[in-house]
Structure 1
């Protein structure tokens, strides 16, 4: 489940990157898509995804403290991502409110968010998830599955909320173009 959520978030980050590249080249990105992406990152990961990872990390800490220590403070990383997301959101709001925001500042906020998000997911995929798979028992995973919320993802779930439909269409278009380009 966590890997699927990462794959979905990576698609969303790539879509954001596509829009930011358009902005950097002097074009007009789809601000509705950017706003929806930021709204998604403000809501879903912190409310549903990161708490699941935190539960796995807590269980890993009790099973193999040495490995968990090597991974570092996952909750702190999640807090840093939340700060970067809020910075990016504030910058986007300023741009949408037609404040005098230098293009470089907006790009810096966007790239800062993209970089921290991708680096974090890479670390989890390369280090955290394999360590958890190795250290945790089948009983641990059963207990974790029972504890985890099963809230449907508002963008990648079965029922896409209306506010995310344009974003979903953009992601699908980007994926199609990147496969043929």
Structure 2
């Protein structure tokens, strides 16, 4: 038997539930996703027969953390945090959940950003990733994620991506700092 959280048990027992502003309510009857989607307010459902989940339809920021990747030259770096601002549009909630379930952002945000950042790193040197094209990574990731969502999950809009500077091995970081100091002295 599956362990159920107290909120899952309450959800199963309750007749009345509230959909909060910024969300819509989706329902499963006998395990089948229903086409009914409710707006914010109080609603009724049949206990044990109908399961309810709130789904956010306003802007949300997903934070993808600790993404290790190897550069073209084989140096391992780590992106500690990448933020993806996105929105699931209300008109696409049913189709998105039917195909990708409630945790659709695992597939289209978390897993995709891991894959896309690793692809990017594998085609670029450490110098390029850390300095030369770092200012372009945000837009490249946004375009890559949106391209896949447009193709396969049309209701998900990627608003922006913010990639934090990766951590690099300490010895290499010191070399970059020394080179920067030398360039400053020459100027």
Higher-helix-fraction structure: 1
Q: TM-score range by the shorter chain?
A: under 0.3
TM-score (norm: length of structure 2): 0.26
**Between Structure 1 and Structure 2, which shows a larger proportion of strand residues?**
2
Higher relative contact order (CA 8 A, sep 6+): 1
Greater gyration radius:
2
